[in-house]
Homo-oligomer: A and B are copies of this chain.
């Protein structure tokens, strides 16, 4: 369903966003920095429901902060066990209930398609805060805004995306979002955690320039952006395999010594040991600025959907 200045009622998939919409949101996010400092009553009297059926710190607090900075309020839960879902209520009934209390719903759910389903039955906007292994559209938007802010452009960049490309939802959403731009993408992962075939095919249909690698050192010298995610130990059937691979996907000072001076390093966080803490102090590290850009992006989005 569509409406409003953004032309979308719901934010379910980054695939629903055009280049124009992404660029417009980046411009709006830019303007939000002043609102963040000074506060605003733009959404006074409005209520956002944040329903998190999976653990989260960043996304939940980021949406809450965005709503508060715009003068609105937040209700919700972050623990299914103390909600009525613990009594066996299905997602549909939870949505049909909560929509009575709020002006928009932010939903994180472990199931593929949960946000899509919720958006189809809700009579208020639904924002996908992560569903299954594929979609996390607001993360993709904030990642793109971060690149834009830090590099000044998206077009023309060479962007490496490294780590668990098979199960990670942020890497897929980011790839879908970047498909609107003129970029070269290098996927770097172990053979067993390659970007799934259907994602590759979607991107190729969009005429995206894609290359796949096993090791970062093959391309480290030429990239402008390195987006890294953690290898999740529990994805490996064989722990020896994990231990063998994790060393190859770690970024440290030595790795960065070969990078362009202005290459930026992004990470959706949380990280485990895939980025050495030493790296935090380098000019490359931008992963602790991403959360701030995330608030600005979500402010722009909430204002577009609710004001």
Residues of A whose CB lies within 8 Å of any CB of B are 38-39, 44-45, 47, 49, 52, 55-58, 61-62, 64-65, 68-69, 73, 75-79, 81-89, 92-94, 96-98, 100-102, 269-272, 277, 280, 288-289, 291-292, 294-295
Max chain B Cβ within 10 angstroms of own Cβ: one of A84, A98, A291, A294:
A84
Closest to A232 in B: B87
* Complex Cα gap A92–B44 (Å): 34
Contacts of A82 in B (CB 8 A): 52, 55-56, 78-79
Question: B47, A65: Cβ atoms under 8 Å?
Answer: yes
Cross-chain contact of A270 among B61, B73, B88 (Cβ < 8 A): B88
Closest to A56 in B: B84
Closest to A267 in B: B93
Closest to A65 in B: B101
Question: A75, B68: Cβ atoms under 8 Å?
Answer: yes
* Complex Cα gap A61–B56 (Å): 20
Instruction: Give the Cβ gap from A172 to chain B, nearest Cβ, in Å.
Output: 18
* Complex Cα gap A39–B47 (Å): 10
Contacts of A86 in B (CB 8 A): 55
Question: B101, A269: Cβ atoms under 8 Å?
Answer: no
Question: B84, A75: Cβ atoms under 8 Å?
Answer: no
Cross-chain contact of A89 among B47, B98, B270, B291 (Cβ < 8 A): B270
9 further A-B pairs in the complex, CB-CB below 8 A; given A55-B84, A68-B73: A55-B83, A56-B82, A57-B94, A58-B84, A64-B75, A68-B75, A79-B79, A92-B277, A97-B269
Instruction: Give the Cβ gap from A180 to chain B, nearest Cβ, in Å.
Output: 26
Contacts of A100 in B (CB 8 A): 288-289, 291-292, 294-295
Question: B39, A97: Cβ atoms under 8 Å?
Answer: no
Contacts of A294 in B (CB 8 A): 100
* Complex Cα gap A49–B56 (Å): 15
Cross-chain contact of A295 among B44, B68, B81, B101 (Cβ < 8 A): B101
Closest to A64 in B: B75
Q: List 13 A-B contacts (CB under 8 A).
A: A39-B44, A47-B65, A47-B68, A55-B87, A57-B85, A68-B73, A68-B75, A79-B79, A79-B82, A96-B288, A97-B269, A100-B288, A100-B295
* Complex Cα gap A61–B73 (Å): 12
